[in-house]
Amino acid sequence: MRARDIMTTPVTTARPETPVKEAAAVLAGNGFTALPVVDGDDRLVGIATEADLVRDRVPRDPRALCHPGEELPTVATTTVGEVMTTAVVAMSPGTDVAVLAKALLDAGYRSMPIVDGSRVVGIVTRRDIVRVIARDDHTIADDVRHRLAVYGGDRRWQVEVHDGIVAIGDQFDDETDRHVATVLAEAVPGVVRATAFAARDEDDR
């Protein structure tokens, strides 16, 4: 499964000159956690996260009790370009989702821009990956059957899925085809693992 299989596209982006308030409204209104920031050629130049927009922008309530020695500074930044993170990590559409998920978890990121060269073409969030994990077995089985039908015909393969684990029965005894079938199945979103066996051999036991 590759990033292109689960990424959201087209991507809602911001420009460096976008007002912070406008970017915050986009995040709040759409449930996003971050906005890729692009220049006039749609090249990635940064990312504006929830943390970037919130940091140092909430003043103390003057009615609250003062805490001597504790300072909570606020800043008067007005544009995304002033608050965005410029050391942004991005990945290509062909990135293995397992690699992408590890990068998100290791770095504590909640979203990953997907770029073709330096041009933003999509975005993958933790929620996208969770949505893949949550796919029901029936839907996964239908997708696996479709891919296998294209490869070896719709009557050749027996497909069973339980908790994302796929078992593929092959009517023919061809080890190479079973390997290909396994690879095709494991590329289906929601598949945890796939194995293939010679169905005739199983029936004769």
- Give dist(CA 4, CA 91) in Å, integer: 10
> What pLDDT is attached to residue 49?
93
Question: For tokens 């479709």, what's the residue?
Answer: 146
> What pLDDT is attached to residue 59?
63
Q: pLDDT tens digits, the chain, 205 residues: what are they?
A: 899 999 999 999 999 999 999 999 999 999 899 999 999 988 999 999 998 988 876 666 666 666 555 665 566 678 999 999 999 999 999 999 999 999 999 998 999 999 999 999 999 999 999 999 999 999 999 999 999 998 878 788 999 999 999 999 998 878 999 999 999 999 999 999 999 998 865 444 4
> What pLDDT is attached to residue 3?
96
**What are phi and psi for residue 124, nearest 5 degrees?**
-120, 130
> What pLDDT is attached to residue 65?
64
> What pLDDT is attached to residue 203?
44
- Give dist(CA 46, CA 37) in Å, integer: 5
- Classify residue 151 as left (phi > 0), alpha (psi -120 to 50) or beta: alpha
> What pLDDT is attached to residue 73?
58
Q: Which of 55, 68, 49 is nearest to 123 (CA)?
A: 49
Rounded to two decimals, the pTM is 0.77
Q: How many C-beta atoms surround the C-beta of residue 101 within 10 A?
A: 18
- Give dist(CA 189, CA 5) in Å, integer: 8
Go through the domains of the chain in sequence order and give each one's CATH number.
3-133 (3.10.580.10), 137-204 (3.30.70.2210)
